[in-house]
Amino acid sequence: MTRKMVFVDTSKCTGCKACTVACKEWNELPAEKTQLVTSYQSQKDFSPKTWTYVTFTEKYEEQTMNFLMRKAQCFHCGDPACLKACSSKAITQTESGFVVIDHTKCIGCGYCSENCPFGVPKVDQTLQKSFKCNGCIDRVENNLKPSCVQTCQTGALMFGDYSDVLGQAKNRLSEVQKTHSKAQLYGEKEMGGTTYLYLLMDRPEIYGLPVNPTIPLSLTLWKDVVRPVGGIAVGGAAAAVVIGVFANIVKGSYRSRDD
C-alpha cells in the first residue's frame, strides 16, 4: 500500500466536533465527562478514551475576533518518537504511514507518552496499556477513509495518496495566503514528515503546537549511542571470557580434581 496523508485545512473547520464523535463511534470509545476549558473547547487533552478533539483559540487582531480551530490527534510522524521509545516493540509503522500500537505487546510503561513531542499517547492505568489515534487503519487497509475524514461535512479533512494530497495542500496554501499572510503548512518537514498535515492560519504556537518538534536528545542518545555501544561492550566481554577459558585449556592451566 502506498503512503497516505490526511490534510487538515483549518481554514474550513467550523468546530462542529463531528470528527470526535465519529472517532468514538467507530473505535467504540465511551463518552467522558467534560467541562468548559476555553471559548467553545470542552476537552483539555487526549485520554485513553478520547483520541481526537477540537481546540479553540480566540485571537483579537485588527479589530476582528478570529476563531482558530484545530482538530487534534496523533500526527503519525514519519520518524515517530513513540516507536523509538517503545521498550516492548508494541509500536509499528504501517506502509501507509500510520503508527499503531499492538496492545497484546504493550506493557503500559509510558515511554511513548513521555517522549512524544505532541504529548499524544496516554496510558490507561487500569489496563496498563497505552492508547492513541490509530488512523482507522482497519478502514484504510480496506480502501475506506478514516472515520473523521468520512464524517467531515465542510471539506476540512482530505485523505489520499501522500504525494497527491501534499500537492493539493500546497495549492490550497497559495490560495489562502492571498488573504491570510501568516498561513502556513505544518507537518511537511516536522518529525520526518507527518501523515496528518495541517494548514494553519497563524503561527504554530498560537495553536499550542511546538515550533520545532524533535525527538528528545536523551532518547536519541540512549537508542542510537548508549545501547549499541553497551551491546558491543557486553558482547566483547563475553567473547573475552570464552577466549580466555579456551586459551587456558590449551595451555593446561586448569588442574584436574585429583591434582
pLDDT tens digits for range 1-19: 899 999 999 999 999 999 9
Taking CA 56 as the corner, what is the angle to CA 51 and CA 57, rounded to the nearest 5 degrees? 140
Q: Is 59 left (phi over 0), alpha (psi -120 to 50) or beta?
A: beta
Confidence of residue 82 (pLDDT cuts 50, 70, 90): very high
pLDDT of residue 258: 55
Does residue 243 register a pLDDT over 60? no
Summary mean pLDDT of the chain: 89
What residues form DSSP beta bridges with 92? Answer: 100
Taking CA 131 as the corner, what is the angle to CA 21 and CA 53, rounded to the nearest 5 degrees? 30
Does residue 241 register a pLDDT over 80? no
Find the mean pLDDT for residues 29-43. Answer: 91
Does residue 222 register a pLDDT over 60? yes
DSSP state letters, 207-228: GT--SS----HHHHHIIIIIHH
Nearest to residue 22, comparing CAs of 118, 145, 197, 198? Answer: 145
